[in-house]
Amino acid sequence: MNLKTKLQSIERAGRRLARQKQRLLGYAQEEKALAAKIEKLVRQIGLPPRDLVFALVDRYKVRLAGRRKGQGGRRKRTKITAELRDAVKKRVAGGVSMNRASQEFGLSYAVVIKMVRGHYAKLK
């Protein structure tokens, strides 16, 4: 690169950074305005924020993982048995995609790949 192209590259980078800065400042203003609206709404309604959130979630049927004790969280680990391995391999051999098989059997995609490739062949 010669000096002229380097200078042009620096100028383009400066313009790109200026556009990015303006966009981020705009996002910050929108976020600040939204926070002010939410704060005003919470004060007007008079409920504690947690109760307001639960009421809105229940009213509009929004699903949030772990919103109450005993709900949500991680799924249980699936015990890999020979029968499960054979069923998964049969479905994949029958033309079902590995992604669909992983969803049907509640397994991760990686485990289905391992089953198809024979990593669970030692199970009896």
What digits encode the pLDDT tens for the residues 29-46?
Answer: 999 999 999 999 999 999
* Rg, the chain, Cα only: 27
Distance, CA of 87 to CA of 8 (rounded, Å): 62
pLDDT category at 65 given cuts 50, 70, 90 is low
Q: How far apart are CA 80 and CA 86, in angstroms?
A: 10
Within the chain, residue ranges assigned H as helices are 3-45, 49-60, 82-93, 98-105, 109-117
Contact between 80 and 123 (Cβ < 8 Å): yes
Query: With 80 as the cut, is the pLDDT of residue 53 above it?
Result: yes
User: What pTM did the predictor assign?
Assistant: 0.43
